[in-house]
Amino acid sequence: MDTLSGASRNVLLRAEAIRLVIFDVDGVLTDGTLFFDLQGQEYKAFHTRDGLGIKLLRQSGVEVAVISGRSSEIVRRRMELLGVERCFQGFEDKLAAFGQIKHELGLEDAQIAHVGDDLPDVPLFRRVGLAVAVADAHPHAAALAHWQTSLSGGYGAAREVCDLIMHAQGTLDAAVARFL
């Protein structure tokens, strides 16, 4: 696949070990825009192709979780629809949520991937086995990632990560074959 052509052997080896993918929300599962109306109500926009990627990744046996510094009922509802129960919101210190998920699932750092776009993702980037920055990530975050997607947050970046991990684990072809 074209979008995975930038993945080196090192990245593929890291991806092969992953049992849990943690996504940041704003700027990763969305394009980073925060919509508001006059009453202060918030709106959010996710991407349809990211949704399918998360479903397929979970079906392949990899866990998915969300850790976000902000908090919104919209995120909880969207993730629920995709079967993602571990939705940690309002965590400015993402390491706290990270420790809790890791403990619950009994995983090593090397088995966890984190997808982020900015400085609050950096503490996780330095811990996890596979740190992924979206194409339009802040340069400080991108510089510390093992891999960077070719698509921007909210426009398929999350899907690329799902594809990368399933490709590295040899589960992508079977998932695709179900549609053939």
Distance CA 160, CA 56 (A): 12
**Of 77 and 90, which CB lies nearer to a second copy in the complex structure?**
77
Residue 40 CB, shortest distance to a second copy, in Å, is: 6
Q: Based on the shown chain and the rule CB under 8 A, indicate whether residue 33 belongs to the binding site for a second copy.
A: yes
Beta bridge mates, 60: none
Q: Based on the shown chain and the rule CB under 8 A, indicate whether residue 180 belongs to the binding site for a second copy.
A: yes
Among 8, 13, 34, 85, interactor with a second copy by CB under 8 A: 34
Radius of gyration of the chain (CA): 15
Q: Based on the shown chain and the rule CB under 8 A, indicate whether residue 156 belongs to the binding site for a second copy.
A: yes
Q: Based on the shown chain and the rule CB under 8 A, indicate whether residue 154 belongs to the binding site for a second copy.
A: yes
Q: Based on the shown chain and the rule CB under 8 A, indicate whether residue 174 belongs to the binding site for a second copy.
A: no
Q: Based on the shown chain and the rule CB under 8 A, indicate whether residue 74 belongs to the binding site for a second copy.
A: yes
Q: Based on the shown chain and the rule CB under 8 A, indicate whether residue 42 belongs to the binding site for a second copy.
A: yes
**What spatial distance separates the first Cα and last Cα of the chain, rounded to whole Å?**
16
Q: Based on the shown chain and the rule CB under 8 A, indicate whether residue 126 belongs to the binding site for a second copy.
A: yes
Handedness of CA 30, 162, 118, 6 (dihedral sign): negative
**Of 42 and 104, which CB lies nearer to a second copy in the complex structure?**
42
Q: Are 149 and 157 in contact (CB under 8 A)?
A: yes
Q: Are 113 and 135 in contact (CB under 8 A)?
A: no
Nearest one of 120, 122, 147 to 135, comparing CA atoms: 147
Token pair 């479903």 is found at 55
Interface residues toward a second copy, by CB under 8 A: 1-3, 26-27, 31-38, 40-49, 51-52, 70, 72-74, 77-78, 117-120, 122-123, 126, 136, 138-140, 154-156, 159, 176, 179-180
